[in-house]
Amino acid sequence: MCGIVGIVGHTPVAPLIVDALKRLEYRGYDSAGVATIENGNLARRRAEGKLINLEKRLKSEPLDGTIGIGHTRWATHGVPNETNAHPHFSNGVAIVHNGIIENFAELREELKKDGYTFDSQTDTEVVAHLVARELARGARPVDAAFRALKRLEGAFALAIMFKGDEDLIVGARNGPPLAVGHGEGEMFLGSDAIALAPFTNSITYLEDGDWAVIRRNLIQIFDMAGEPVERKRQQSVGTSFLVDKGNHRHFMEKEIHEQPEVISHTLAHYLDFVGGQAKSFDMPFDFAKIDRLAISACGTAYLAGLVSKYWFERYARLPVDIDIASEFRYREMPLGKDSAALFVSQSGETADTLASLRYCRKAGIPIGAIVNVRESTIARESDGIFPTLAGPEIGVASTKAFTCQLSVLASLAVKAASARGKISADEEKALVRQLSEAPRYASQVLKLDKQIEKVARELSQVRHVLYLGRDTNYPLALEGALKLKEISYIHAEGYAAGELKHGPIALIDETMPVIVIAPHDRIFDKTVSNMQEVAARGGRIILITDQKGAQHATVKTMETIVLPDVPEMIAPLIYALPIQMLAYFTAVFMGTDVDQPRNLAKSVTVE
Ligand code: M6R
């Protein structure tokens, strides 16, 4: 999940590479580095930590050179220090790498026997040595790279540069994405088109197994047999502007506040509010003709999928198998001809989700993808995409992408229900009307910030938090816990409220806050019983409910956050906001790095 960049340019490239790396920092921010060819020799600057440290380093020790490669790292092999930072060098070879070389241990032993020594603990350094060994054996740079590539197992996007050749970068892709950018007398390579947007919108995506020779006036792409291949050149829609925080302290805060607008855009893309029905749009499969939908995704995107299981089954009577993608890809699920698959991913690059998609591709079933990045690999490999119109999400903790995923899934559930004849035209109209009101309710919830901030102050004092919910509020309980732990580092667990008595109730004492997500719905009373069980054991309840729920909750709470009364179907879209805000304010009180929490990355392109 690192970000890589390469430029064969005609002005000093180091500042341009840093600019591109800023756009890739969402992929990792443990360390960063740049290498160029300066006066015929390889030169590099690397720094531990965020990109800003590399920028400072380059200010005091600038790098010259019109060709260069750069890297922002999310550590897999080796701690995040300067020695492990990329680019890695070996005898005139410089390399940046995103991915994992799975056979690195065996290659390392082999190279050690040949006298190569290792400075870093990374898997990447073996690639630098492999290429250097081929050069030492007499191969020319391009052949040396190709021979080395054939020895690699695992996932990689690579950029390789050679001392003495200021007009050559070799790029290669097997797994993680890699895009080539076409310029006039200059060429570019990057992990995504957004990184290259300040330089060019003319992009060619490498496919798995492709490798490319990149020179100022020439790009050649080959497959792993060494045969030239044609890959489509396309116009990217990536913007050259870096998104800023506006008046907000953090991107996460800004993105939470954007939700009424982006939910509205997303819903309007799929629903005809005036006609009261789902719009017609290109579908990779016909809901009326399938008898099973397999959804898989990771993290927050998985939890959006889990909410939708309730919707698809309840409204469309369509059975849904929902899986965490890292499980789905290996569990050998039988998929019949009447199944369809749906993948949910903000980035569209998540390795496990992509691998699950490819499993379904092999099974021959139709594939749809809900993605925020329309040019991503998952988007490109699907039979049809359902875009979320969230705009770029920069905060590592997913907020607006989640509610936009819910918006798409809710719209698809309505479409499925109608296509399968499970709802009447009037019922469809009613559901569409309810969904159209979601942005307005979301705006109202944002106004509860002062109260939520007060609760967050309390949460920032504790070490453990439990979240409970039933029905669609169960995935929200999981999402609340995920959000809190990832940005505040407080241990949190989400449970189906009915499961409480099967184990987690043992955790309850007067130090344990229990956040209960319970609108006044069909099963509200059941959740009230669970709250009684918590209260009887001294647990401190924070109830997130609506006005009716607040009136009917016969239990003493530490705090009750009262949301507007909303129809059952749209409740997940609205209740997502207070749990995001709670996590956000708690993290602010804890003083953590809200937008770039430790150990995480926005796009997870390794297993
Ligand atoms: O890009 P994706 O939606 O595929 O990413 C999936 C997860 O990595 C992501 O949702 C992650 O769990 C977030 N950091 C949660 O806030």
Please indicate whether residue 356, judged by its CB atom, sits closer than 6 Å to ligand 1. no
247, pLDDT greater than 90: no
Confidence of residue 606 (pLDDT cuts 50, 70, 90): confident
By alpha-carbon position, which residue is closest to atom 14 of ligand 1? 397
Mean predicted confidence (pLDDT) in 364-380: 94
CATH topology of domain 446-592: Rossmann fold (3.40.50)
Mean predicted confidence (pLDDT) in 353-376: 95
User: Is the separation of the CB atoms in 169 and 159 below 8 Å?
Assistant: yes
Query: Would you state the pLDDT for residue 451?
Result: 98
pLDDT in tens, 185-211: 999 999 988 899 999 999 999 998 999
Contacts 24+ apart (CB under 8 A), 353-359: 353/296, 353/297, 353/298, 353/301, 353/325, 353/378, 354/378, 354/381, 355/325, 355/329, 355/607, 356/296, 356/323, 356/325, 356/328, 356/329, 357/381, 357/382, 359/328, 359/329
By alpha-carbon position, which residue is closest to atom 7 of ligand 1? 299
Torsion sign over Cα 365, 154, 298, 466: positive
242, pLDDT greater than 70: no
Name the residues annotated as catalytic. 2, 602
Measured from the Cα of 396, ligand 1's closest atom is 14
- Output the pTM of the full model: 0.84
Query: Would you state the pLDDT for residue 502?
Result: 95
Please indicate whether residue 298, judged by its CB atom, sits closer than 6 Å to ligand 1. yes
Residues 6+ apart with CB under 8 A from 231: 204, 205, 206, 207, 210, 221
Alpha helices by DSSP H, listed for 333-399, are: 351-363, 377-381
The one-letter code for the residue type at 213 is V
Mean predicted confidence (pLDDT) in 298-324: 98
Gyration radius of the chain over CA positions: 26
Query: Would you state the pLDDT for residue 236?
Result: 81
Query: Would you state the pLDDT for residue 253?
Result: 96
| Strand ranges in 74-133 using DSSP code E only, listed in sequence order | 88-90, 93-101
Q: Do domains 246-436 and 446-592 have the same CATH topology?
A: yes
Q: Using the structure block, give the residue that is written with the tokens 């159209």.
A: 436
Q: Is 305 helix (H, G, I), strand (E, B) or coil?
A: helix
Alpha helices by DSSP H, listed for 321-472, are: 325-328, 351-363, 377-381, 400-419, 425-436, 438-446, 449-459
Q: Which CATH architecture has domain 3-240?
A: 4-Layer Sandwich (3.60)
Mean predicted confidence (pLDDT) in 361-374: 96
The one-letter code for the residue type at 405 is Q
Query: Would you state the pLDDT for residue 607?
Result: 78
Q: Tell me, in angstroms, the distance from the centre of ligand 1 to residue 256's CA.
A: 16
Query: Would you state the pLDDT for residue 419?
Result: 97
246, pLDDT greater than 80: no
244, pLDDT greater than 80: no
Confidence of residue 72 (pLDDT cuts 50, 70, 90): very high
Please indicate whether residue 66, judged by its CB atom, sits closer than 6 Å to ligand 1. no
Q: Tell me, in angstroms, the distance from the centre of ligand 1 to residue 69's CA.
A: 27
> What stretch of H or E contains 321?
strand 320-324
Q: How far apart are CA 258 and CA 252, in angstroms?
A: 10
| Higher pLDDT pick, 333 / 370 | 370
Query: Would you state the pLDDT for residue 146?
Result: 98
pLDDT in tens, 254-291: 999 999 999 999 999 999 998 999 999 899 999 999 99
Mean predicted confidence (pLDDT) in 377-400: 95
Domain ranges of the chain: 3-240, 246-436, 446-592
Please indicate whether residue 176, judged by its CB atom, sits closer than 6 Å to ligand 1. no
Confidence of residue 490 (pLDDT cuts 50, 70, 90): very high
User: How far from 384 is each of 307, 450, 451, CA to CA, in Å?
Assistant: 21, 42, 42
| For the chain, percent of residues with pLDDT exceeding 90 | 89
pLDDT in tens, 133-180: 999 999 999 999 999 999 999 989 999 999 999 999 999 999 888 999
User: Is the separation of the CB atoms in 44 and 35 below 8 Å?
Assistant: yes
Query: Would you state the pLDDT for residue 280?
Result: 92
574, pLDDT greater than 90: yes
Confidence of residue 582 (pLDDT cuts 50, 70, 90): very high
| Higher pLDDT pick, 54 / 246 | 54
Task: State which of 350, 484, 598 you would mutate to test the pocket of ligand 1, scoring each by most atoms of that ligand within 8 A of its C-beta.
Answer: 350
Which residues share a beta bridge with 292? 339
Q: How far apart are CA 367 and CA 307, in angstroms?
A: 20
HSE at residue 275, side-chain half, CA atoms within 13 A, is 8
By alpha-carbon position, which residue is closest to atom 11 of ligand 1? 299
Query: Which 8-state DSSP code applies to residue 501?
Result: G
Please indicate whether residue 5, judged by its CB atom, sits closer than 6 Å to ligand 1. no
Task: State which of 1, 344, 403, 604 you would mutate to test the pocket of ligand 1, scoring each by most atoms of that ligand within 8 A of its C-beta.
Answer: 604
217, pLDDT greater than 70: yes
Query: Would you state the pLDDT for residue 226?
Result: 96
Query: Would you state the pLDDT for residue 455?
Result: 97
Please indicate whether residue 397, judged by its CB atom, sits closer than 6 Å to ligand 1. yes
The one-letter code for the residue type at 58 is L
Please indicate whether residue 72, judged by its CB atom, sits closer than 6 Å to ligand 1. no
Residue 87, preceding peptide bond in cis (omega within 30° of 0): yes
Angle separating helix axes 425-436 and 400-419, nearest 10 degrees: 170
Q: Is 431 helix (H, G, I), strand (E, B) or coil?
A: helix
Distance of CA 73 to the CA centre of its chain: 16
Q: How far apart are CA 215 and CA 315, in angstroms?
A: 55
Angle separating helix axes 425-436 and 438-446, nearest 10 degrees: 30
Query: Would you state the pLDDT for residue 379?
Result: 95
The CATH code of the domain at 246-436 is 3.40.50.10490
Query: Would you state the pLDDT for residue 241?
Result: 59
Which residues share a beta bridge with 71? 4, 33
Give the mean pLDDT of the chain. Answer: 95
Confidence of residue 42 (pLDDT cuts 50, 70, 90): very high
The one-letter code for the residue type at 152 is L
Confidence of residue 544 (pLDDT cuts 50, 70, 90): very high
| For the chain, percent of residues with pLDDT exceeding 70 | 99
Task: State which of 194, 300, 370 you would mutate to test the pocket of ligand 1, scoring each by most atoms of that ligand within 8 A of its C-beta.
Answer: 300
Query: Would you state the pLDDT for residue 257?
Result: 94
